[in-house]
Amino acid sequence: MTEDLNAFIKARALGIPSLKPDEKRAFLGNFRDRVAMAVTIRQLHTEAMSQLLEQVLTRYPQYRVYLNGLMPQPLIDQYMKQALAHEIPFNIMAQPGLRVKKTPRADDFGWVLADPKQKIARPILL
């Protein structure tokens, strides 16, 4: 009984344990081995990257797009419309419950293409 109470208190105080939280935070909720391609926010601002992602989405329709919800809204809109045009499912990832609004850095990932269920045998290399 005492062990159950201690475990309960510890779980409430420390939160629910999760596997590789830093990796999942960096890749917008995905494990690295499920990511086919990841693009930084800085790279998303270029027209050449937008055209390249058009080709990638055409070639890999079986994956899902994850967008960083902390990016500027026009950038989110642009890549959300791109995913919709290719009928690719997408998620806008923002961590709920944060008391402090963190502004994203240019080197943070803003666009991730991943398989939500299984490991990817061969990531897309640029």
Three-class SS state of 116: coil
Q: pLDDT tens for residues 87-106? A: 999 999 886 555 556 778 88
Q: Count other Cβ atoms within 10 Å, centred on residue 114.
A: 24
* Average pLDDT for 4-10: 79
Q: pLDDT tens for residues 36-65? A: 899 999 999 999 999 999 999 999 999 999
Which 3-state string (H, E, C) describes 21-73? Answer: HHHHHHCCCCCHHHEEEEEEHHHHCCHHHHHHHHHHHHHCCCCEEEEECCCCH
DSSP 87: T
- Looking at residue 81, its pLDDT comes to 96
Higher pLDDT, 34 or 81: 81
pTM confidence score = 0.79
* Alpha-carbon distance values, 40 to 10, 44, 46, 109, 119 (Å): 37, 6, 11, 4, 21
- Looking at residue 126, its pLDDT comes to 52
